[in-house]
Chains A and B, each alone.
Chain A
């Protein structure tokens, strides 16, 4: 492990990150509502720390990264950025305890969208934008962004890329890792701009449209309104956001191919088919379940059903209706959606459709093998054999995901949280969803969770965003041994 190089890269990362604080600063200066002081202080501290690291370790250059160094850089980098991202909240006023500021920041970067704020609208415009903006940065990945910006990361960039991109088999769209990163960010930015455009057409104010686009595309879920999207109560907004949430839940390399003129990629990709099929089917079931019991009209049932299913399965976490008032079947479907999550290579969280599909196919193969003990079978996806290595990592991931979920739930309950809330809070954090059930449900928030519980959930959110392995490996004693 080359500590000096790790700190050098993280130093670079922090400098770039400090520079992005200019965005909320400009907003503060436009609105002049008093948020600029805390952002200026944070920016100064962040950039100073970054430059300090940069200067101290500038001599540590390395030509190649091992897989574990890549993982260590990404894990430490994310922890550092969560910390520095919390500063603007922390310096905002005495009402922010440190753990709360950190919770809000990590919830933002990990695109979870869980908030400890009871009155969101009381925040200054600059901080509101900052909340949304960090989700946007975290969605496509701060490391992927740095690979696109910092040329020296191109060497060994693949290791960093693999450690951050949420997919068991990361795609390389272009021969150079840097070009791949640039393309992903371009597609991401184009989609964001498109959503701003459509929201503006429908009459949403520019500031709100920007903030919501910044949190839809990364499937984050922070809103500028206390009542989330429900506050607008606008049919057009609901549908625009529903569609963009679904788009954000699809693998971005498919979007790239679509833009390059292959219209059928969504249909040809087995994972995307599964994901879109699941959204349609579950929407139908939920709408049917709620039609007549909660909603009198079918149109309403479909509108709210589709929005909520899309919001939870892509792990965005916007709310247009208090789904805890729904019948048990619909609520359980949403809980299941939190686990399944969006597509691999998208900005969404959860276990990812790809892993679910592979797991189902693997189980079928095992059963088939019992009926035909001599049969030679392989797991195939889209006509291609899935290698044993990938399969093993997928199964290991699923086991870890469920195992960590169970342990964390028990720990959260031990911290004094009730049954339903503990279950919902952990599922929503580890899946990067946001709203859970019980006290942290669609109309609640995380303010009441005890301090220890908040630390636990911060950890869960990072685990979920970096796909468990990258974070968990830091706990291995052998990882630190020379």
Chain B
């Protein structure tokens, strides 16, 4: 499978690295020779210096043999043109463009459906705002994802060392849970490593536990972890850029009281003009005086969305210390992720990670509906439709040769979650949710795709 990536920025670089590790043929194009050198030196991919929207460059990159073109340069226009040019040269290639400008927002679906030369438009910012909302709604969660159009959620929660669940075996779990509630644990991250737990494995304090639940039973599930829902009433947004604006608009729709802090006076004016109920404050988000003036201790959620990640980290830490309920921090540099738990920042969003997730979903073979990377890119949660012709349907799970390091966490049949056992049978058309370590992903793809590809 040959994939061409135009743009060797952070997103292009990480997608290329991911795909190269999965044994795909990747070629990266960028105008900047320095960026290309970084890619060539650290990743096992082919590189080309040039503009991704130039027909000659695309031709040289072998666009005709390519299955997918990802246009993820910094410029929306360049991405559009790259897809357009690629379409003229090779109509059969699947083309994905990243578009970030808010002007395109309302036309997002139009683009996706009407523009013949672009398979999908990806706007990571929409996805990030969605993630922030989910993180706000789910108490205690550090990672939230959705499957089956929101019917099913998967949440990542840190297990308190004091929790009654710490130290018990998974097989004994049901006897420790009072009442009707049930808990389905799909994966555990311990010391930066993803474990697919079995019955005899024990939970430990400090584990990041990933569990799956129907949406209407989510709060019950969370109460097992002693996390109880608190209504979000007051939100403080630090950073009034595109993301801050987008989030403020969403909060207005939900009638949540929001304040937004922005450093740049002109931008404040723009924000004040276009937002109705939100309070726009001119000032520095890391200014202690300003925070206490605005009663930071009464704020339920602080969201730091400035363009500078160090500011975001510091503002989040500061507001947590001054009594804010929780803080959601935007971070772009992947190298910072492992540090976050150590310094006490748990809820993190990233435009780049969101972009990668949306892109992965389109790259996966088989009928994959969504693909979400779990903490630190070590593993992926994949939601897919079991095709009639694939290897996994119509026989008991124990007879399926399933790759090591992967687990079918749930089967969804007509809006019902089935927790699979060895005797469960997947029927054609079922949606299945798979948790897989990175090394198992290519094997999973093989299982999901049809035996003889005919569509």
A393 to B132, CA, bound (A): 49
- Contact of B46 with A67 in the complex, beta carbons under 8 Å: no
For B41, give its contact among A155, A159, A178 (CB under 8 Å): A159
Shortest Cβ gap from A286 to chain B (Å): 40
Q: Does B408 contact A (CB under 8 A)?
A: no
* A174 and chain B: residue at smallest CB distance: B46
Q: Mark A126-170, 1 if CB is under 8 A from B, else 0.
A: 000000000000000000000000000011011100000000000
CB distance from B144 to the nearest CB of A (A): 29
Stretch among B25-33, B77-85, B90-98, B303-311 lining the A interface: B25-33
B33 near A158: Cβ-Cβ < 8 Å: no
A144 to nearest B CB, angstroms?
Answer: 15
Mark A172-193 against chain B: 1 for CB-CB distance below 8 A, else 0.
1011111000000000000000
Assembly CA distance A159 to B44 (angstroms): 10
Q: Identify which of B26, B41, B47 gathers the most chain A CB atoms within 10 Å of its CB.
A: B41
Please determine whether A175 and B26 come into contact, CB atoms closer than 8 angstroms.
Answer: yes
In the complex, what residues of A have CB within 8 A of residue B40's CB? 158, 172
User: CA separation between A177 and B25, bound complex, in Å?
Assistant: 10
With known contacts A175-B26, A175-B27, A387-B33, A157–B41 Cβ distance under 8 A: no
Residues of B within 8 A of A174 (CB): 25, 46
With contacts A172-B47, A175-B2, A387-B33 taken as known, whether A64 is within 8 angstroms of B25 at the C-beta atoms is no
**Do A157 and B42 contact each other (CB < 8 Å), given the known contacts A174-B25, A175-B2, A175-B27?**
no
List of B residues within 8 angstroms of A177 by Cβ: 44
| Chain B residue nearest to A176 in the complex (CB) | B44
Report Cα–Cα, A67/B45, bound state, in Å.
Answer: 16
Instruction: Report chain B residues within 8 Å CB of A155.
Output: 44
Q: In whole Å, how far is B8's beta carbon from the nearest beta carbon of chain A?
A: 14
Docked complex Cα distance between A158 and B2 (Å) = 19
Which A residues are CB-close (under 8 A) to B42?
64
Nearest chain B CB to A172 CB, angstrom units: 5
Chain A residues with CB under 8 A of B20: 175-176
The reply to whether B46 and A175 form a contact with Cβ atoms under 8 Å apart is yes
Task: Kindly provide the distance from the CB of B235 to the nearest chain A CB, expressed in whole angstroms.
Answer: 40
A181 to B45, CA, bound (A): 14
A158–B33 alpha-carbon span in the complex (Å) = 17
Q: Once the chains bind, are A176 and B41 in contact (CB under 8 Å)? A: no
Proximity string of chain A (362-402) to chain B, C-beta cutoff 8 Å, 1 when within and 0 when not: 00000000000000000000000001000000000000000
- Give the complex CA separation of A174 and B44 in angstroms: 10
**In the assembly, what is the distance between CA of A85 and CA of B25, in Å?**
36
Contact A158 B44 (CB under 8 A): yes
Most buried by A among B25, B27, B45, B46: B46
Q: Nearest chain-B residue to A384 (Cβ)?
A: B49
The answer for the CA separation of A157 and B44 in the assembled complex, in Å, is 8
- Report how far A177 CA is from B26 CA in the complex, Å: 11
A460–B346 Cα distance when bound, in Å, is 57
Q: Say which residue of B25, B33, B47 sits within 8 Å of A176 (CB atoms).
A: B25
Which residues of B (179-201) have their CB < 8 Å from a CB of A?
none
Q: A178: which B residues are within 8 A, CB to CB?
A: 44
Set of chain A residues within 8 Å of B27, measured between Cβ atoms = 175
The minimal Cβ–Cβ distance linking A179 to chain B, given in whole angstroms, is 8
Question: A154 with B44: in contact, given A175-B2, A387-B33 (CB under 8 Å)?
Answer: yes
* 0/1 string, A60-95, CB within 8 A of B gives 1: 000010010000000000000000000000000000
**Interface mask (B45-63 → A, CB under 8 Å = 1, otherwise 0):** 1110000000000000000
Nearest A residue to B24, CB-CB: A175
Least Cβ distance of A182 to chain B in Å?
Answer: 13
**In the complex, which residues of chain B have a beta carbon less than 8 angstroms from the beta carbon of A159?**
41
B271 CB → nearest A CB, Å: 43
| CA distance in complex: A175, B27 (Å) | 6
The docked-state distance in angstroms from the alpha carbon of A8 to that of B144 is 41
How long is the Cα–Cα vector from A155 to B22 in the complex, in angstroms?
12
Q: How far is the CA of A423 from the CA of B2 in the complex (A)?
A: 52
Closest residue of B by beta carbon distance from A157: B44
Instruction: Establish whether residues B25 and A175, one from each chain, have CB atoms under 8 Å apart when the complex forms.
Output: yes
- Chain A residue numbers with a CB within 8 Å of B44 are 154-155, 157-158, 175-178
Query: Which residues in A have their C-beta under 8 angstroms from that of B2?
Result: 175
Chain B residues contacting A175 (CB-CB under 8 Å) are 2, 20, 25-27, 44-46
A64→B26 CA distance, assembly (Å) = 18
How long is the Cα–Cα vector from A283 to B23 in the complex, in angstroms? 48
B387 to chain A, nearest CB (A): 28
Q: Which residue of A lies closest to B47 (CB)?
A: A172
Give the chain A neighbours of B23 by CB distance below 8 A. 176
Which residues of chain A are near B41, meaning CB under 8 Å? 67, 158-159
**Nearest Cβ on chain B to A212's Cβ, whole angstroms:** 36
- Chain B residue at minimal CB-CB distance from A154: B44
**A158 contacts across to B, CB distance below 8 A:** 40-41, 44
The answer to whether B33 touches A172, judged by C-beta atoms less than 8 angstroms apart, is: no
**Closest chain B residue, CB of each to CB of A63:** B21
By beta carbon, the residue of chain A nearest B27 is A175
Q: Mark B120-162, 1 if CB is under 8 A from A, else 0.
A: 0000000000000000000000000000000000000000000
* A172 CB contacts on chain B under 8 angstroms: 40, 46-47
Chain A residues near B25 (CB, 8 Å)? 174-176
Report the separation of the CA atoms of residues A228 and B428 in the bound assembly, to the nearest whole angstrom.
Answer: 72
Would you list which residues of chain A between 293 and 350 have a CB under 8 Å from chain B?
none
A: residues with CB less than 8 A from B are: 64, 67, 154-155, 157-159, 172, 174-178, 387
Sampled A-B contacts (11; CB under 8 Å): A154-B44, A157-B44, A158-B40, A172-B47, A174-B25, A174-B46, A175-B20, A175-B26, A175-B27, A175-B45, A387-B33
A sample of 18 more A-B contacts (CB under 8 A), given A64-B42, A172-B46, A175-B27, is A67-B41, A154-B44, A155-B44, A158-B40, A158-B41, A158-B44, A159-B41, A174-B25, A174-B46, A175-B2, A175-B20, A175-B26, A175-B46, A176-B20, A176-B23, A176-B25, A176-B44, A387-B33
Q: Which 4 A-B pairs have the closest CB atoms?
A: A175-B25, A175-B46, A177-B44, A172-B46
